[in-house]
Amino acid sequence: MTPREFVGRFGLLAVYNRHGSNINGKLAHHIGEDRLLRPEQAAWYLNVKTSWVYDAVRTGRLPCHRVGRHIRFTRYMLDDWLAHQAKP
């Protein structure tokens, strides 16, 4: 395992670039841009509690996709949200 890969609650998680490739150049299978993330995975990615994710979605602070009654996120959506948080 390389230092940029982690085994967490949801299995193997690795750091991928914007094009969905990991550091070895393989296609992303775990947290790729085309994969919808559950709130627990988004919380892990943002390094916050899952309850914060639910609260932020409910109050409109964090964008999400709604699939029926479920909320889902893309990595690109979370990265974009993070980039806008740093601006004054």
Q: Tell me, yes or no, whether 22 and 50 share the same domain.
A: no
Q: Do 18 and 55 touch, CB atoms closer than 8 A?
A: no
Given a cut of 50, is residue 16 above it in pLDDT? Answer: no
Q: Are residues 60 and 22 in the same domain?
A: no
Which pLDDT tens digit goes with each residue over 18-64?
A: 444 444 444 344 455 568 999 999 999 999 999 999 999 999 999 99
Both 26 and 10 in a single domain?
A: yes
Residue 41, phi then psi, degrees to nearest 5: -70, -40
In this structure, are 79 and 53 located in the same domain?
yes
Same domain, 24 and 41: no
Give me the domain span that covers residue 21. 1-34
CA 56 to chain centre: 14
Q: Is the pTM of this model over 0.75?
A: no
Q: Provide the domain count of the chain.
A: 2
Whole-number Å distance between alpha carbons of 25 and 60? 36
CA 68 – CA 52 distance, rounded (Å): 21
Both 26 and 65 in a single domain? no
